[in-house]
Amino acid sequence: MSPMARTAPVPAATDPAIIRNFCIIAHIDHGKSTLADRMLQFTGVVQSRDMKAQYLDRMDIERERGITIKSQAVRMPWERDGVSYALNMIDTPGHVDFTYEVSRSLAACEGAILLVDAAQGIEAQTLANLYLAMENNLTIIPVLNKIDLPAAQPDKYAAELASLIGGEPEDVLRVSGKTGDGVEALLDKIVHDLPAPIGDPNAPARAMIFDSVYDTYRGVVTYVRVVDGMLHPRERIQMMSTRATHELLEIGVSSPEPTPSKGLGVGEVGYLITGVKDVRQSKVGDTVTNLAKPAATSLPGYADAKPMVFSGLYPLDGADYPVLRDALEKLMLNDAALVYEPETSAALGFGFRVGFLGLLHLEITRERLEREYKLDLISTAPNVEYEVTLEDKKIVQVTNPSEYPTGKVAEVREPMVSATILAPNEFVGAIMELCQSRRGVMGGMDYLSEDRVEIRYRLPLAEIVFDFFDILKSRTRGYGSLDWKADGEQVADLVKVDIMLQGEQVDAFSAITHREKAYAYGVMMTGKLRELIPRQQFEVPIQAAIGSRIIARESIRAIRKDVLAKCYGGDITRKRKLLEKQKEGKKRMKMVGRVEVPQEAFIAALTTDESKDKAKK
C-alpha cells in the first residue's frame, strides 16, 4: 500500500509547490461521491472504520438535499517520493443549471479528474463541464470508473475519451470507487501530472469565492481559493464587487471537518466565516481582499447570476402563504441565484413569481420547500422572460403570461439557447424530429465515436424548459443527454393563449406560445381540464382563446348523482367520515367563478406526460 503522508503540510505555511488543487467532473450517477469517499479514506483524512458512520452518511443527507451538495472542498495529505503534498479536492455542481458555479469551481483548480462511468460513456453535461475546464486551461486526468461492473466497456470508452481530449487510450486511468482499485494510482497521478498553483505571496491578498453556504449555526461559510498574498484570522476583509467589509472571525480548511488555521496562503483552499447571514454578501466569483492593504484589481470572471426560467409558486392552502414567504427568505440565504417577488393569481391566490437558473434548479427548490418546510405547492408552468415591444415603442419585460400587454404588440423577443445533445447514432432521426418540432435550427453534428454523436441545435429557451428533456430521454430510451447555454435572443411570432372556465379566464393556465402552436396548446389544455375537473352541478364550458377569438372548446357535463343510497344498518359513523372526507376535499378546491377546481387539476394540468399521451393513442 502506498504510504499515507506521515506528516501533513500545515495550512498557512505550505509551499505552493506541494499544493495540488483539483476537481472531479462527472455525470450525476457516475460515482463521483464514492470515488471521493475512497480518496478520503486512502489519504487517512477519514478513518476506515469511521467511513460509513461519519462521512458517507453525511454525504447521503447532503445528496438528498440536492443543491447543498455543491459545498465540498477537502484538504488531503498524500506522500509521494518522500514528499508530503496537500491535495485540495473541490467539488463542482454536476448540472448545467449551475454552469456559472461550475466555472468558478474550475477556476479554483489547476486540474480536473474527468470521471466517466465505464459502462455508460460520457454524457452531455459532463462534456459541457469538460469544455469549461479546458477553457480554464485545466490539466485533465481522464478516468474510467466502475471498472468492476460486468457491463463495463473500458476499452471502448477509453478510446472515446482519448479522442475527445487527445492522448492515448492507455493513458486513461481505470478505477473502481467501490473496490478502491486504481485509487492510489490516481492520487499519485494527481501529484505527478497537475501543476502547482502559482501566485505572488507578497502581493495584496486576493482570494476567489467559489462557493458560499448558509449554515444555521455559523452563518455564511465562504469557500475560497487564495491566488495572491495571505489571509489571516481577525483581520478585516473586503468583497471587491460589493465593497462590503467584514471581520474574519474564522479561517481554516476542511479535512473534512472544518479546522481553523492561522491563515491561508498562495494556492490554498479553505473557508472563511465572517458572521454574515446572507449568501448574497458573499457572492460566488467575487474576490476577497484585505481592507487595510487592498488589491488594485479583482480576479476575472465574476458575474451576477441571471435567472432564466420563471414559475409561480403558490401554497395549496392559502393560509400557508406566510410559511412560503419565510421559507423562500431562508432558502435565499443559501442560494444566491434565487430571485422572487410576490405575485397574485385570481385562480391560485397569493404566491411568488420565482426566477431560477434552470428547470433542475426549479425542481430542487420546489422539493426543498415541500420537504423541509412541509409545504404543499402548486408551481405554474415554467416560462421564460419575453421582451415585448408595443407599437408606441414601449418595452415590457414579461416573466408571467398574465403580464402580457393587452395593447398593440409590435414585436416579441424570446431568449435562445444553444443546445448540445449526445446520443447513440441510431437516435439521430428522433432527436432531429424533436428539435425541429421545437423550432430548433441545427448547428452541426459530430461523431464522438463510431456510434455516438453530438448534435448541436439553436432553440428557443421556452421550447426546452417544459418537457424537452423528459421527451428526449424517452425518445432515446434514456441514452440521450442534453446541455445548453444561453445564446442571445430572437424575434418570434408569439401569442398569448388564455383558458376560460365558464367564461372566466384562469390566469394560471395562460401561456405564451408560438402562433403555430397556439391551437395545439388550446386543444391540449382544454382536453386535459375536461378530464381533470370533476363534474359540477351545472355544465361547464372550457375554452381556449387568443384575445377574443376562441380557438378550442370542450365542456364538462353536469353531474346528476351525488348521494349515497344506503346507510348500512345504522353505521352512521362511516357515512359521516365519508362526508368529512368530502368536505376536506372541498377545502382543497379552488373556486374559479362557480366552478370547483381541485388543486390536483392545477398540478396535473401544469405537468406534461408524453408517455400518457402516447398511451391514449
Partner 1 sequence: MPSVLPLGDPAPANGQLPAQVLEGVADRAFGLYVHIPFCAVRCGYCDFNTYTATELGGGASQDAYGGTAESEIAFAARALTESGLPPRRLGTVFFGGGTPTLLPAEDLAGILAAAVQAWGLEPGAEVSTEANPDSVTAESLRVLKDAGFTRVSFGMQSAVPHVLKVLDRTHRPERVPQAVQWAREAGLAVSLDLIYGTPGESMADWEESVRTALSYEPDHISAYALIIEDGTKLAAQMRRGEVPPIDDDDHAAKYKLADQLISEAGFAWYEVSNWSRGENQECRHNLAYWRGDDWWGIGPGAHSHVGGVRWWNVKHPSAYAGRLAAGDSPAAGRETLDPETRNVERVLLESRLSSGIAIGTLGSGRTAIAGLIADGLIEPASAFAGQLVLTLRGRLLADAVVRRILPD
Looking at the DSSP bridge assignments, the partners of residue 416 are 460
The residue type of 97 is: D
Which residue of 155, 586, 609, 613 would you call a contact of partner 1, by CB under 8 A? 586
Q: Which is nearer to partner 1, 395 or 567 (CB)?
A: 567
* 591 touches partner 1 by CB under 8 A: no
Name residue, grid cell 446520443: 423
Minimum separation from the CB atom of position 590 to partner 1 (A): 15
Which residue of 236, 293, 574, 612 would you call a contact of partner 1, by CB under 8 A? 574
Q: Which is nearer to partner 1, 169 or 534 (CB)?
A: 534
Minimum separation from the CB atom of position 140 to partner 1 (A): 57
Distance of CA 308 to the CA centre of its chain: 12
Minimum separation from the CB atom of position 581 to partner 1 (A): 11
Name residue, grid cell 443546445: 419
Q: Which is nearer to partner 1, 293 or 587 (CB)?
A: 587
* 584 touches partner 1 by CB under 8 A: no
Minimum separation from the CB atom of position 594 to partner 1 (A): 9
* 292 touches partner 1 by CB under 8 A: no
Q: How many residues bind partner 1 (CB under 8 A)?
A: 27
Total Cβ atoms within 10 A of residue 221: 20
Looking at the DSSP bridge assignments, the partners of residue 24 are 113
Minimum separation from the CB atom of position 376 to partner 1 (A): 19
Are the C-beta atoms of 386 and 398 separated by less than 8 Å?
A: yes
Give the Cα-Cα-Cα angle 465, 469, 474 (nearest 5 degrees): 145
Which residue of 306, 477, 575, 612 would you call a contact of partner 1, by CB under 8 A? 575
Are the C-beta atoms of 95 and 451 separated by less than 8 Å?
A: no
Q: How far apart are CA 188 and CA 169, in angstroms?
A: 19
Give the Cα-Cα-Cα angle 98, 356, 245 (nearest 5 degrees): 70
Q: How far apart are CA 453 and CA 75, in angstroms?
A: 38
* 568 touches partner 1 by CB under 8 A: yes
The residue type of 372 is: E
Over the window 483 to 522, marking each residue x when it contacts partner 1 by CB under 8 A and - when it does not, the resulting string is ----------------------------------------
Greatest alpha-carbon pair distance for the chain in Å reads 92
Residues 359-418 that bind partner 1 (CB under 8 A): none
Are the C-beta atoms of 504 and 593 separated by less than 8 Å?
A: yes
Q: Which is nearer to partner 1, 515 or 581 (CB)?
A: 581
* 259 touches partner 1 by CB under 8 A: no
Minimum separation from the CB atom of position 585 to partner 1 (A): 9
* 615 touches partner 1 by CB under 8 A: no
* 581 touches partner 1 by CB under 8 A: no
Name residue, grid cell 471587491: 240
Q: Which is nearer to partner 1, 61 or 564 (CB)?
A: 564
The residue type of 215 is: D
Are the C-beta atoms of 92 and 23 separated by less than 8 Å?
A: yes
Are the C-beta atoms of 422 and 122 separated by less than 8 Å?
A: yes
Over the window 538 to 567, marking each residue x when it contacts partner 1 by CB under 8 A and - when it does not, the resulting string is x--------------------xxxxxxxxx
- Residues interacting with partner 1, by CB under 8 A? 537-538, 559-577, 579-580, 582-583, 586-587
